[in-house]
A and B are shown apart, each in its own frame.
Chain A
Amino acid sequence: MMIRRGSLRADIGRLMLIAVLLLGGIVMVFPLFWLLSTSLRPAPELLFVPPRLLPEQWTLENYQELFASAPMFTYLWNSIVFAVVSTVFVLLTSTVAGYIFAKFQFPGNNALFILVLATALVPFEVYMVPLFSQMNMLHLVNQPLGLFLPFLVLSYGIFFMRQNTITSVPDELLDAARIDGMGEFGIMLRMVPRLLAPAMSALAILAFIQAWTAFIWPLLILNDPQLFPMELGLSQFANSFSVNFGVTSAGAVFAMLPTLIAFIILRRRIVQGITLTGLKG
């Protein structure tokens, strides 16, 4: 071991390093702190130059005005429904298709899988215009179904579940279950998910975050504020001229709360999910 215990220079160096890292860390959380602090200021204090770090007079009036002027709980509910529906369907479609591609030989297996892989390379922004006109032809514009549909399948999810089926579902186990007289549907829906639980939870986190943070598709497909999910609702609210920084900050704090709470509870799983799936925010 090369560690020299008690070396004063090394200790001071380490402490300075930690101090710099912590300073950077403060910068990372500062915008969140700033929103919270602004949301608790009375209107006149918003105009202070230079601004103070903390309100001089703490107030909840911004939150009262927020809930009086924007249907924040409707947005929240819409986001929850959207994210849950999307997660359930992505899990179902990805696991089923991934399992079939991994474990069944049939004509066209490879061709279909390559098609899935190829579409995983095309970002949503590239095909959103034709997708919109498709939805328009089906009269799904400004309908919850029109919002949900593109988020029900995930090319990457199919690929991800296929890889995981190959590594964590042994053929011997499937054959043993077949010999025991278990039907194919029983194997797929009751046995396989148990073996794929870690991968499914990673994929669930990915799908949930994707729907929760979706912005451009809701912006295109919806125009009734009663259907807006949180991200869209908040941005439209913040762009209206009638509200001040205090109220928009209160809205932002309200919008961040569910994510922060979920993160505190599920920190390990979320970090693991992100490293496993390579999710990009």
Chain B
Amino acid sequence: MTNPLGAVRRVPPRTWARYRFVAIVLTPVMALFLFLRVVPTAQAFLMSFFEWNLIRPASEFVGLDNYIKLLSDRNFISAFTNTTVFAVATTVLSVGIAFVLAAVLARAVVGRVGAFIELLYFIPVLVPMVPVTLGWREIFNYQNGILNALLGVFGIPKQPWLSDPNMALIAVIILSVWKLIGYNLIILLVGMRAIPREYHEAAAVDGAGAWHQFRYITVPLLAPVTLFVIVITTISSYNVFTQVYVLASDVQGQPGRLVRVIVYDIFENGFRFFKMGYASAEAVYLFLVILALTFIQFRFLRGART
């Protein structure tokens, strides 16, 4: 290897042609990718250590100051708490309901009726978020919304769904669970239908009832799929924004103010107050949560396989 050209000469010309092809084809895609994904992501981390705004970028290096300040920022704490409550409640409810539905649809209600029911539950997944949020906004209306009218039938007083912060959080959870059930149902159904029929038949021969089959066959065999659904639902819930923005306006009609969530807080710090370094530190916190969730998924899925 004394002659540097020796190494080059050993690569046959055909291979050089391939390299050239790869370079020609891949370079534009990777350039776009670098510019649109890698650079902004790296910059988010970089900015988080600076005092940074639109007009004067990187004006001062502040180390971990942004991160420390956030921990005592009441808006951020409230956003983080709300988002966590939202993510946990939405995930537990939407996955739980979808799981029971999938078990029933995979085993007890099959054929055309089953397919029709599946379709009904799937419709909310497809329709875009803004129009359905407007629909729920009418349903939740205090004065003449149909939900309060329905509660009235049972003697329950009118609830301030969209003006009390706690009730508004519940309203956003109800809307999001409603929207997510169908998606989780489809994924879980695919998993359940992959369980061989023989398992259930053998268990039935041995005298296991529906509950025991559910508990000792469906639940353990579906654990990996369920974990997948739980993790992606939690991740997408941590990024919640649209429905909160449309549904939860505060008294002045300022959208998204009533139930503060992390993405809204990033949005406000970054684009209303132009504290972009501060907003980036917040985004890094969000990323850490999502990274942790992803690791949990990989960890457990690997465990399930071995």
- State yes or no: do A and B come from one complex: yes
Stretch at the interface among B26-34, B62-70, B73-81, B216-224: B26-34
Contacts of A125 in B (CB 8 A): 239, 241, 262-263, 266, 283, 286
A54 to B99, CA, bound (A): 34
Please determine whether B40 and A97 come into contact, CB atoms closer than 8 angstroms: no
Q: Does A7 contact B (CB under 8 A)?
A: no
- Tell whether, in the assembled complex, residue B286 and residue A133 are in contact, meaning their CB atoms are under 8 Å apart: no
Contact partner of B183 (CB less than 8 A), chosen from A119, A216, A219, A281, is A281
A136 to chain B, nearest CB (A): 6
A122 and B26 contact, CB distance less than 8 A: no
Task: Give the total of B residues in contact with A, Cβ under 8 Å.
Answer: 98
Cα(A166)–Cα(B40), bound, Å: 30
Q: Which of B120-136 contact A (CB under 8 A)?
A: 120-132, 134-136
Is residue A18 contacting chain B, with contact meaning CB distance below 8 A? yes
- In the complex, chain B residues whose CB is within 8 Å of the CB of A271: 122, 186
Closest B residue to A127 by beta carbon equals B40
Contact with A along B199-223 (1 / 0, CB 8 A): 0010011000000000000000000
**Chain A residues with a Cβ closer than 8 Å to the other chain, count:** 91
Nearest Cβ distance between residue A222 and chain B, in whole angstroms?
Answer: 13
Nearest 3 Cβ contacts at the A-B interface: A25-B120, A50-B149, A252-B131
Q: List 18 A-B contacts (CB under 8 A).
A: A24-B101, A28-B121, A28-B123, A28-B181, A29-B123, A97-B29, A97-B33, A125-B283, A125-B286, A126-B286, A128-B270, A129-B266, A129-B276, A153-B29, A153-B36, A220-B267, A231-B128, A255-B131
Chain B residues proximal to chain A, CB less than 8 Å: 17-19, 21-22, 25-26, 29-30, 32-33, 35-41, 43-44, 47, 54, 57, 101, 104-105, 108-109, 113, 116-117, 119-132, 134-136, 138-139, 141, 143-146, 149, 152, 178-183, 186-187, 190, 201, 204-205, 228, 232-233, 235-236, 239, 241-242, 245-246, 249, 253, 255, 262-263, 266-267, 270-271, 276, 279-280, 283-284, 286-287, 290-291, 294
